[in-house]
Structure 1
Amino acid sequence: MSILIAGAGIGGLTTALSLHAAGRTDVRLLEAVPEIKPLGVGLNILPNAVRELAELGLLDELLAVSVPTGTLGYHNRFGQLIWREERGLAAGYRWPQLSIHRGRLQSVLAEAVRRRLGPDAIVTDARVEGFEPRPDGRVDVLVNHPAAGRASRTTADALIGADGIHSRVRARLHPEEGPPPWNGLVVWRGTTTAPPFLDGRSMVIAGDDRRRAVIYPMSAPEGPSGEVLVNWAVARAADPGAVFADADWNRAVAPETFLHHFADLAFDWLDVPALIRTAREAYVYPMVDRDPLERWTHGAVTLLGDAAHAMYPMGSNGATQAIVDARVLARELVRHDSPADALAAYEADRLPVLTRIQASARRRGPEVVIDLAHERAPEGFDDPAEVFPGDELQSISRDFARLGGFDPETVNTRPSLAAPTVTGGAR
C-alpha cells in the first residue's frame, strides 16, 4: 500500500513514523517549503500525545530539547492566583507534558523519518495542489514545485491531507468553504531568553475577559547566566477596522507596536511586558479556526491535524491531537487491506472527539476560569474560594480533560494506539 502525506508538519511526520514502526515503508511526505527549518514558537504536548512519541522511541531526544511542565496556573489581571494544577508526571500521568519549541519538535521528528524511512522520504518544494480519484480506488495527485517552477503528477493508494489550516487537500474536498473564520481576536507570539520564573517548570495563563497572556519555559537553563528560552503569547480584541488578509503564522512584527496593550501585566513574580520588550522574535496573526466538518474522508483521501480540525489555542490541543490522529490513522491503515475502509475507521474514531474539543475551544476551554474570575471579581479577590464555590475550578479542569479522553486514568490505562506490525514486511 503506497501512502502519500501532504505536509511534513507534526501530524504528517508522526503518521510516517507510526506507519514505519508497523512495517509499512512505502510512505512519502510532500512538503511545500524548499527547506524544513526550525520555525515557529512554543507548543505544549499533553501526556496522551507524549505517550505516543515515547512508544515511537523518541522520548529521550525530546526531553533533551524541552521542559517537562510541572504546573499550570491561571491568574487574573493583577497576577492573583485563581487556580493551579499539577501537570504531567506530577498529576499522576505515566508520561510527562512537554513544553517545546515547534521547530525543535519538528526537527526531531523529521530526522527520525529520514533515519528510518530514508533520506528521500521527505520531498521538499512539493505542494499538493489537487487530486483525482481513479476508477481502481487509487488517487492521482497533482504536485506543484514552486522553487523549481514545474508541476508533476504521482499516484498513491491513499492521500493524507496533513497540510495545515490552509490545506489544499481540504479545499479540494470542500471548495465552498472559503478562508478560516476569525473571532476578532489578535494574537502576538514570540520567544525570549530570560531568567527562569517560579520553579522553572511552570506554565502561566493570566489576564481578564479582554486580554490574555500565556507564558512558559521551553528549555533548561543555558550558559553562565542560567537563562531559559521562554514562549509567550498575548491576545486581545482587534482594533476597529483591523483587517487580516490571511492567517500567516510567520508575519513578523515589532514588539513596540503592541506592547502598550499589555503594559500593566507586570507582576512581582513575572514581568510580561519585559519579556515582550526583549523578544528574540515576535509574530502577529488573527485567532482563527475551522468550522467542524461532517466528514473528513472521501474514499482514499482524508484529513489530519489542523487540516481536519484547526481550533483556537485553548487547552494545548493543537499539536497534541495531530499526534493522536496520526497514531490512530496508522493503526487503521495497517488493520485494513482497503485504504478507504481504513480511512473511514479512522474518521469514525477521531471525528466525534475532535468536534467536541473544537466546540469547547470556542468556549475558551479551561481558560474560561479567567473570564469567570473577571466577571465575578473585576477588582480582584483575597481568596479564590470567595469567587469559585466548592470544587467548581477542579470540575472545569477535570471535565475538559475527560471531554477529549486525556485525563490521567484514560491515558494511563487505555490500550496502546500502536499499529500491529505487518508480518513479512510492508504490504
Structure 2
Amino acid sequence: MSQNYPAMAIVIIGAGIGGLTTALSLHAAGFPDIAVYERAEKLRPLGVGINLLPHAVRELTELGLGERIGKRGVAPGTLAYYNRFGQPIWSEPRGIAAGYRWPQVSVHRGRLQMELLAAVEERLGPGTVRTGHRLLAVEAASAAGVGGPFGAATAGRAGGVARFAAAGGEVAVAAEVIVGADGMQSALRRQWYPGEGEPVWNGLTLWRGTARMPGFLDGRTMIMAGDAGQKFVAYPIGAPDADGNAEINFIAERRTRGFAGENADWNRAVDPQPIIDLFRDWRFPWLDVPALLAAAGEILEYPMVDRDPVDRWTHGHATLLGDAAHPMYPNGSNGASQAILDARTLAFHLATSETAAEGLAAYEAARRPATTALVLSNRRQGPEQVMVLAHERAPRGFAHIHDVLTPDELTEIATGYKKAAGFHPDALNNRPSLTPPGALDNRPSPASPRVPGLVDEGRFRE
C-alpha cells in the first residue's frame, strides 16, 4: 500500500536537536510548509548532559527560546582542566563571565529535545513532526517542480521526493528542499556514500551517566581531568535542591583494547563496577570520582567515533545537516552547537537566495569548510590538548603547570579552538545576526536591560 501526503515545501528527516532547530529556524524565516519525519515511533527524553556553547545559545535566543532553554539547565561560569592527579592545568571563564553576550548552558539532551519539540508543535502545529517514518531513499522529482515558499523562482525546476517506510506502507513526500538531519547513522548520507562503512573508532570508550551529588568546587564549574589515555569530565546540569545535591553529568573515558570498545551499542547499559575500578584512585580534594560513578542510576557505554569529512553535502535539492553532515568527537563540547548553527545558517541562506539551489550552495559553502576543520581539530583533542601535553611532559605530575606549559601555549590552544569553532567572544558578539530580514523577530530589543538576577543564574532575556 502506498500513501502520498500532500506535497511539502521543505521536508526534514530526523527530529533530533538539529532537525527540530531547522524546523523552527525555517518557520521563523517565513517558510510556511515544513514537515519533520522521524524514524522513532515515539520521541522520549533520552540521553545525558550536553553543552550549548554561546554561539548556539545566541541562535536559540534569537529564535525566542533563550530563557526557556536556560531554565532547563545550568550556565557554567568556569571550565577547568586538571591532570589525573587533580593538579590544575588551565581554567577559564565561560559564557557571560568570559565576555560573551550569551551564556553557555549545560543541559540534559533529552530535556532540550523535548523543549524544541514543544516549540515546534506550538509554532508550526502538532502534526509537524511525524514519527514512525524510516527513510528509504531520496529521489529527484519531475521537472515540473513543486510549489512552495520559493514561489515562481523554482517553477519548472526539479525538487525531490523522500520515500519512507511507515506502518501503513510506503510514503512518498515531494518537496522543494529535503534536509537530512538523521544523525551519525544517516540513511541519506549512506545513500550518497554507500561505501563509507561504519563510523571510525579511535580506541576510546566513553561511559556516560548522571548522579545526584553535592556540588563540587563553586557548583558551576565544568571540569576535565586526565590525559589522552584516560579522562573524566563532570558538570552540573540542574540547580541544587534543598539538601545541596545537584544532578551531575559525567563522562568517563579510557583507551581500551577489547574491554568494551568497537562493538559497543550506542545505549548499552553496563555494570558500573569495572568503570569504578578504572578510576579507583581518582579521589581529589574537590571531587570523589569513584563515589560519583557509584551514585549513578545507570551508566551507558559508547565508542568515541566520528566520520571522515566528505567533499559534498548537497545533491540536487537535498542536503545534510548536523551529525549526518559532520559527526565529530565530543572534544570541545561542540556537536549539538554546530547542528544548531547549521540549522540557522541553512534557513538564512534559503530565505535570502533567489532559488533553493542557490540557498543550498550558500549554506554548504558557509558551513562545510568550517565543520571539516573542526572535525579534524577534535581529532587532535581540540582544547583538551592542554591535558595531553601536560601528561606527555610531566606524566608523574608537576609543582606548577608553568614548569610544563608556558602561559602563551595554554592561551594559544584555548583561543585557537574558539576561533576555529566560531565562538571567540569578539567574533561572536560582533557577527551579524542569522535572522533573515523580514523574518519573525524573536530577538531581544537592544534597549532591553538584562535582569541581574537572571544573569547571575545564567538566565537571560529573550
TM range (shorter): over 0.9
Q: Matched residue of 2:268: which SS?
A: coil
Relative to structure 2, which stretch is displaced further, 84-93 or 29-38? Answer: 29-38
2:33 corresponds to 1:26: yes
Alpha-carbon separation, structure 2, partners of 1:27 and 1:169: 18
Q: Matched residue of 2:58: which SS?
A: helix
User: Deviations 1:45-64 (Å, cap 9, x if unpaired)?
Assistant: 10011000000111111121
User: Deviations 1:71-112 (Å, cap 9, x if unpaired)?
Assistant: 000000100100000000000000000000001111111100
Is contact 1:189–1:233 with CA below 8 Å preserved after alignment?
yes
Q: Matched residue of 1:115: which SS?
A: helix
Is contact 1:49–1:320 with CA below 8 Å preserved after alignment?
yes
Alpha-carbon separation, structure 1, partners of 2:240 and 2:406: 39
Alpha-carbon separation, structure 2, partners of 1:394 and 1:336: 39
2:74 corresponds to 1:67: yes
Alpha-carbon separation, structure 2, partners of 1:413 and 1:331: 17
Q: Which runs of 5+ in 1 are unaligned?
A: none
Is contact 1:19–1:419 with CA below 8 Å preserved after alignment?
no
User: Deviations 1:241-300 (Å, cap 9, x if unpaired)?
Assistant: 755346x43211121132211111111101111111110221001110010010101110
Residue 75 of structure 1 aligns with an amino acid whose one-letter code is Y
C-alpha displacement at 1:336, in angstroms? 2.2
Is contact 2:205–2:261 with CA below 8 Å preserved after alignment?
no
C-alpha displacement at 1:333, in angstroms? 1.4
Is contact 1:143–1:152 with CA below 8 Å preserved after alignment?
yes
2:251 corresponds to 1:244: no
Residue in 1 aligned with 2:366?
Answer: 349
2:316 corresponds to 1:299: yes
The match for 2:387 among 356, 370, 390 is: 370
2:233 corresponds to 1:234: no
Alpha-carbon separation, structure 1, partners of 2:119 and 2:345: 19
Alpha-carbon separation, structure 1, partners of 2:27 and 2:87: 48
C-alpha displacement at 1:338, in angstroms? 2.2
C-alpha displacement at 1:238, in angstroms? 1.6
2:343 corresponds to 1:326: yes
The alignment's C-alpha RMSD in Å is 1.4
2:196 corresponds to 1:154: no
C-alpha displacement at 1:240, in angstroms? 3.9
Residue 206 of structure 1 aligns with an amino acid whose one-letter code is A
2:194 corresponds to 1:175: yes
Alpha-carbon separation, structure 2, partners of 1:396 and 1:301: 36
Residue in 2 aligned with 1:314?
Answer: 331
Residue 166 of structure 1 aligns with an amino acid whose one-letter code is Q
Is contact 1:24–1:422 with CA below 8 Å preserved after alignment?
no
Aligned runs of 1:86-165 on 2, under 5 Å?
Answer: 86-136=93-143, 137-145=158-166, 148=167, 150-165=169-184
Q: Matched residue of 2:313: which SS?
A: coil
Is contact 1:18–1:56 with CA below 8 Å preserved after alignment?
yes
User: Deviations 1:306-342 (Å, cap 9, x if unpaired)?
Assistant: 0000000011110000000000001111122422221
2:396 corresponds to 1:379: yes
Is contact 1:18–1:419 with CA below 8 Å preserved after alignment?
no
Alpha-carbon separation, structure 2, partners of 1:256 and 1:129: 41
In the superposition, the TM-score normalised over structure 1's length comes to 0.95
Alpha-carbon separation, structure 1, partners of 2:274 and 2:10: 45
Residue 274 of structure 1 aligns with an amino acid whose one-letter code is A
Residue in 1 aligned with 2:216?
Answer: 197
Residue in 2 aligned with 1:50?
Answer: 57
Relative to structure 2, which stretch is displaced further, 304-313 or 329-338? Answer: 329-338
Relative to structure 1, is the Cα distance of residues 422 and 73 closer, same or farther in structure 2, using a 3 angstrom cutoff? closer
Q: Which runs of 5+ in 2 are unaligned?
A: 1-7, 144-157, 441-462
Alpha-carbon separation, structure 1, partners of 2:40 and 2:274: 29
Residue 185 of structure 1 aligns with an amino acid whose one-letter code is L
In the superposition, the TM-score normalised over structure 2's length comes to 0.88
User: Deviations 1:172-222 (Å, cap 9, x if unpaired)?
Assistant: 111111111111111110111111111111000001231011110001112
What stretches of structure 1 move > 6 A for 4+ residues in a row?
none
Alpha-carbon separation, structure 2, partners of 1:58 and 1:241: 42
Number of paired residues?
419
